[in-house]
Amino acid sequence: MLTKLTAHKLLTETGQIDYPILTIEDGRIVSLESGPPNGSTETLTAAFFDIHVHGACSHDFMAASPSEIAEVGRFLAIRGVGHYLPTTVTGPIDATLRALDTLAHAIEDASTDGVAPTAIPVGIHLEGPFISHHKRGVHPACCIQEPSIELFKRFQQAARGQIRLMTLAPGLPHVLELIEHATASGVRVTMGHSNATASETLAAIAAGATSSTHLFNAMRALDHREPGITGTILDRDDVYAEAICDGLHVDPAIVRLWFKMKGEERAILVTDGTSATGMPDGIYALGNFTVEVKDGVCLSDGTLSGSVLTMDQAVENLQRFTGAPLGTAVRLASRNPARMLGLEHLTALTPGAPANFNVYNEVGERLGSIFSGWRVT
């Protein structure tokens, strides 16, 4: 069945189309053209793509059941996310293998034909265990592993090839070999939880690393004589960089610096959302340990432990912190993560792409979403 969708304007990957007319069939865009003025005041954008999220609705991806993973997907859709990468955290190897198996089933069984709109998991982000003890954040020290191709192969086998993104710490023994192996197998490598120097970071980039995990957080600080991992990533025009734009993990002034340095083409918004997202203050799980949420801040032993940020709020915060227009902010939350992963088709808003949109009013307030013909408010 064909359906028509119109709006005042459509913000695309590169610009905007006034008075768009979209034809949709079976949840995908069939055609897109510009028509005459139609009286609408709404703006359509691409749905968001969160590549770094650990859970929501009290459910953590390291232990969530299939039904709980589905519940997280429905919550993310309400906040404008069309696709996402469920993200692990460092834990015991057996627990990680079990989580990867469950997440792989959820990805394989994912469908847009359900009874309610849902964000679709399209791969796994393996955050840990190949990270630095010096910059582990809240990742349990006892579960950190030295980079190992053999252990990565076990993880990927359990995930049935669904690991699409892996956080690694430059500077660790054997990390360059693992970066080269993962990259050759189609897995993107993002650098994080690292005390690496500039030279160690450059070596990781040369080996194939393409992005950084929550820049500034859990990594060597910028120094004017040793740029380290932070300064090197800011300086490189060919490397993407995540940021958690909640005003807590990164001060708004540093968000502005990150945005100026990485620009509209390489900056990526992520949430690092935990099982506490969408829930009241309290105690929640993150992997095999707990975090306390008070006044919206996630802490474990006094250390920031993920967030309760949602992507619609991150987009709003970026506009407020930097003055970026809506179209730019949305691209950081949709086009850029998709491009980094080589999944541009998921957010392209071109014929054949999923008909997933966020809907904004004339003053830039988000009204809801449209997923495969379902309108979510």
Phi, then psi, of 240 in degrees rounded to 5: -75, 160
Q: Which pLDDT belongs to residue 116?
A: 67
pLDDT digits (tens, 9 = 90+) for 129-174: 999 999 999 999 999 999 999 999 999 999 999 999 999 999 999 9
Contact 80, 47 (CB under 8 A): yes
Q: Which pLDDT belongs to residue 292?
A: 94
Contact 116, 75 (CB under 8 A): no
d(CA 145, CA 132): 9
- Residue 214's CB is within 10 A of a number of other CB atoms, namely 27
Using 70 as the pLDDT threshold, list the residues of the chain that sit under it.
Answer: 1, 111-116, 373
Q: Which pLDDT belongs to residue 369?
A: 95
d(CA 275, CA 293): 10
* Residues with catalytic function: 272
d(CA 119, CA 53): 12
For 229, how many CA atoms within 13 A lie in the half-sphere containing its CB? 33
C-alpha pair distances (Å), 107 with each of 112, 247, 270, 366: 12, 32, 20, 28
Nearest Cα to 320, choosing from 235, 259, 249? 259
Q: Which pLDDT belongs to residue 113?
A: 54
Q: Which pLDDT belongs to residue 115?
A: 52
Contact 9, 34 (CB under 8 A): no
d(CA 187, CA 210): 10
- Residue 278's CB is within 10 A of a number of other CB atoms, namely 18
Whether the model clears a pTM of 0.85, i.e. scores above it, the answer is yes
Q: Which pLDDT belongs to residue 307?
A: 96
Nearest Cα to 204, choosing from 192, 191, 223, 193? 191
Tokens representing 198 are: 């500039």
C-alpha pair distances (Å), 334 with each of 11, 65, 161: 12, 27, 23
Tokens representing 210 are: 């393409």
Contact 305, 314 (CB under 8 A): no
The mean of the pLDDT values for the chain is: 95
Contact 187, 165 (CB under 8 A): yes
d(CA 358, CA 377): 10
Phi, then psi, of 22 in degrees rounded to 5: -110, 130
